């Protein structure tokens, strides 16, 4: 119990010192709607668009620079060619980044770079194999490293929009004969900042 109290005391002191060091810079959260338009091979073969939501936090380090953390979910619409095989598919992005404001925090244009992971989950349909019976569908989840450059704009102190080029890297898997690949989409987020 003494260790827990000691750790809590150190955390409170650190937060107090950090708050006084940061001065007027803000820490705030956001929540918003995400739209995704797959591009490249990923769009031609499997997915047509995505929609979802995300939330995040921003920690201001100066008038013009902040650290961000975001997580969300994007449900993917399937191309007609694979909709008989795949039941559903979604992405869970978890990323941290650095945001540079060209004016000041929560105002005007900003540039951001994000890095993290994307969890990709796919559920396949049951397949009727005739006299052999039914092959049951499967649910698989893979984890991919992801990066994204982003540009955004604060319309008001509480409303922002951001456009990003999201990349996630699919590693080679010799067991199933999968070559290394890159999935990508253009993402648009409209957010309320609180």
- Mean pLDDT computed over every residue of the chain: 86
| 21: pLDDT strictly greater than 80 | no
Dihedral Cα 41, 47, 48, 51, nearest 10 deg: -130
Residue 5, domain member (yes or no): no
Q: Decide if 118 contacts 146 (C-beta within 8 A).
A: yes
Instruction: Decide if pLDDT at 8 tops 50.
Output: no
Distances in whole angstroms, Cα of residue 7 to Cα of each of 17, 24, 69, 106: 15, 27, 24, 33
Residue 55 placed within a domain? yes
- With respect to residue 18, please indicate whether it lies within any of the assigned structural domains: no
Is residue 2 one of the residues assigned to a domain?
no
The answer, yes or no, to whether residue 17 has pLDDT greater than 60, is: no
Question: What are the Cα distances from residue 178, in Å, to 36, 45, 170, 191?
Answer: 24, 15, 9, 37
Domain region containing 76: 25-193
Encode pLDDT of 149-164 as tens digits: 999 999 999 999 999 9
CATH label of the domain that carries residue 63 = 2.40.160.20
186 in any annotated domain? yes
- Domain annotation covers residue 14: no
Q: Work out the angle at residue 70's Cα, subtended by the Cα atoms of residues 64 and 72, and round it to the nearest 5 degrees.
A: 150
Counting the structural domains of the chain, the total is 1
pLDDT for 67-96, tens place per residue? Answer: 999 999 999 998 887 777 889 999 999 999
Closest by CA position to 119, among listed 74, 174, 164: 74
- Which region, left, alpha or beta, applies to residue 61 given φ > 0 means left and ψ of -120 to 50 means alpha? alpha
Of the chain, the end-to-end C-alpha distance in Å amounts to: 35
DSSP one-letter code for 125:
P
Is residue 20 scored above 70 in pLDDT?
no
Q: Is residue 16 part of a domain?
A: no
Among the residue ranges 41-45, 80-84, 111-115, 126-130, the one predicted with the least confidence is 41-45
The pTM of the full predicted model, rounded to 2 decimals, is 0.79
Q: Is the pLDDT of residue 2 over 50?
A: no
């Amino acid at each position: 119990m003494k260790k827990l109290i000691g750790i809590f005391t150190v955390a409170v002191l650190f937060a107090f010192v950090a708050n006084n060091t940061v001065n007027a810079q803000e820490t705030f959260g956001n929540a918003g709607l995400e739209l995704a338009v797959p591009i490249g091979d990923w769009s031609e073969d499997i997915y047509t668009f995505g929609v979802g939501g995300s939330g995040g936090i921003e920690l201001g380090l100066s008038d013009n620079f902040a650290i961000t953390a975001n997580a969300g979910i994007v449900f993917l619409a399937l191309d007609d060619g694979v909709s008989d095989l795949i039941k559903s598919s979604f992405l869970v992005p978890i990323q941290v980044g650095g945001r540079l404001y060209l004016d000041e925090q929560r105002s005007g244009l900003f540039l951001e770079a994000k890095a993290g992971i994307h969890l990709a989950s796919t559920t396949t349909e049951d397949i009727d194999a005739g006299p052999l019976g039914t092959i049951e569908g499967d649910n698989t989840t893979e984890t991919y490293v992801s990066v994204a450059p982003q540009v955004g704009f604060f319309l008001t102190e509480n409303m922002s929009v951001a456009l990003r080029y999201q990349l996630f890297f699919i590693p080679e898997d010799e067991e199933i004969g999968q070559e290394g690949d890159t999935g990508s989409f253009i993402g648009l987020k409209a957010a309320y900042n609180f």
